[in-house]
Chains A and B, each alone.
Chain A
């Protein structure tokens, strides 16, 4: 791969997905794109770049997908799910007792381990939430990871990383070599292909947003823009969960860190972007999108 090829790929990825590759990520590009190049019958990455330059739309889409697919596992980092169970859900069950419904957005949901982990947390609430309606919107840029997520099928290796054995027995069924998540949990999740650079209004408003381990790939202005737009999709008493290496501090006034729960952020109600009128407006937007 020549420096010019790398420059072309960096720009194409930035334009398409917002992925911001630093100048020293050639190894990452090679490890992800060489298998793709070979699969397409090409010998190297320069040929792949040439194909993109010639306007092969499908190839460009596959390159973006190969570069943005990220590792995930059930209950990744554990802590955000403890926060969800111990603080976020109890608070929201009280606050939404009239409406008896919650909407949760998993932005960059990858192969589904995160939305299914959230679904399990909700199910574990048991009879306390009988009659409640839970909606988890799982979005990702990559169609192929969404397909995998939709299938609800996981390998033995995948179900052993982060998933407590009791939950495996409770919510999965063995089908041959694979483990299939229960239809009940699958029904709680709606999958949508979605680019975080896109307009979010069509998604409606949410009580909780999980946007973890994806912002690290964006540059500063993109991060800021995403935070501002996430704030508009979140109810004033909602919660935003970020990845362990991510923060809003120094980037935006739209959110403030939770006083005690690390990785959890709250809409900053003093921010002009969410004046008190945001609640009724948000509900209207939610109804339209629903």
Chain B
């Protein structure tokens, strides 16, 4: 079973994402900010990361830059999932090594399509 780290400061969003991704047969790990997510990644790298942008302590963009510098940190597929839906943000995320980008609001179809796009399912 593949693992997906869901990083979002909203517990509601994490819950929705968990339900969708468990339906796609992922094992879910949750984190409420970038720093906690990074700690989890140091322990074990997930196959996928569903990543919010705006979060307290460390935002998703910082997390991504740190992750990509870790040994093996280029491996996880990172899919942003954020209300930041302008081209400038998307371009920045891609430049920092994001594999895909979901603009909130999202649903099961969008998550499925995006995870298929990066070869996770």
Contacts and interface: CB of A to CB of B under 8 A. Distances in A.
Interface residues of B, number: 17
A169 interface: yes
B100 A165 contact: yes
A31 interface: no
Interface of B: 85-87, 90-91, 94, 100-103, 106, 109-110, 113-114, 116-117
B91 A169 contact: yes
Is chain B's interface secondary structure helix, strand, loop, or mixed overall?
helix
A168 B90 contact: yes
Q: Which 4 A-B pairs have the closest CB atoms?
A: A165-B101, A160-B110, A161-B113, A165-B100
Interface residues of A, number: 14
Contacts of A168: 90
A169 B87 contact: yes
A216 B3 CA distance: 38
A160 B102 contact: yes
A228 to B, nearest CB: 36
Contacts of B87: 169, 173-174
Contacts of A160: 102-103, 106, 110, 113-114
Given A156-B85, A166-B94, A169-B87, A161 B103 contact: no
Contact of B103 (A78, A156, A162, A166): A156
B109 A165 contact: no
